[in-house]
Amino acid sequence: MSPDLYLPELISSLDRLSLLARQPEDVLTRPVPACPGWNLKDLFGHLGSIERWAGEIVLSGKVAEEPVPPATGAVAWFLEGEDAFLGTMSALDPEEPCWNFGPPPRTAGFWRRRQAHEHAVHLIDACQASGLADPTFSADFLLDGIDEILTMFTPRQLRLGRMPQPEGAVTFEVAGAGRWKIGEGDAKASISSTPVGMYLGLWGRSNLAESASIEGDKALAVRVLRGPLTP
């Protein structure tokens, strides 16, 4: 996927999230299915926090502390920060050196990609909590998100000891579009799905162990899917 498309994807998701944040109080107190303990207000507070954190990192080029959302007024706080966040993401130079938690080279462009997918996943959450259909994304964007998980997040989870090392390698496949491997050596299992099925499943927004086609050592594949593959 062309890096030039991250910003339009982010803007599109942010526009819809902004509308969903303006829903009536009885909707904003609904639970978010994929985020136990959160309602929509908590979700928007999280986004407001992440946006300020990412924005500060881009502006300074250095690691920053993530702010804590306010105990009350989290939705308004999210809405108040939208313009500044989007301005920072729009103005950044993708090649500028900048701290991030991905692999080298560590440049500001990382944050456009990360925030495009951060907001896409939470737009899915907000739609599900609001009783709306899941949003749709292009196949290229979904494949890019799958790649971000399996080449950046999951190796980081393994490196930090947040998930056990798999006893054997497992491949993740989207027919005709991409293939990724987690673990060392020859693959003992393969997990195949559509772009949207793989994207939702890897982010825990659907049950990939049930929806995907699994060949080989199914028990190993299920253990790897339990990961956690992402933070």
Q: What is the per-residue pLDDT for 122?
A: 98
Dihedral sign (CA 196, 209, 115, 60)? negative
Token digits of residue 108: 């500001």
Amino acid at 27: V
Q: What is the per-residue pLDDT for 171?
A: 98
Does residue 212 contact residue 198 with C-beta atoms inside 8 Å?
yes
pLDDT in tens, 76-118: 999 999 999 999 999 999 999 999 999 999 999 999 999 999 9
3-class secondary structure, 139:
helix
Q: What is the per-residue pLDDT for 216?
A: 98
Question: Which 8-state DSSP code applies to residue 49?
Answer: H
Q: What is the per-residue pLDDT for 1?
A: 85
pTM of the prediction? Answer: 0.96
**Ranges of each domain in the chain:** 3-129, 139-226
Does residue 143 contact residue 174 with C-beta atoms inside 8 Å?
yes
Amino acid at 192: S
Amino acid at 123: L
The torsion angle over the Cα atoms of residues 101, 105, 111 and 113, rounded to 10 degrees, is: -110
Q: What is the per-residue pLDDT for 31?
A: 98
Return the CATH class of domain 139-226: alpha beta
Q: 78: how many CB neighbours lie within 10 A of its CB?
A: 25
Q: Collect the ranges in the chain with pLDDT lower than 70.
A: none
Q: What is the CATH number of domain 3-129?
A: 1.20.120.450
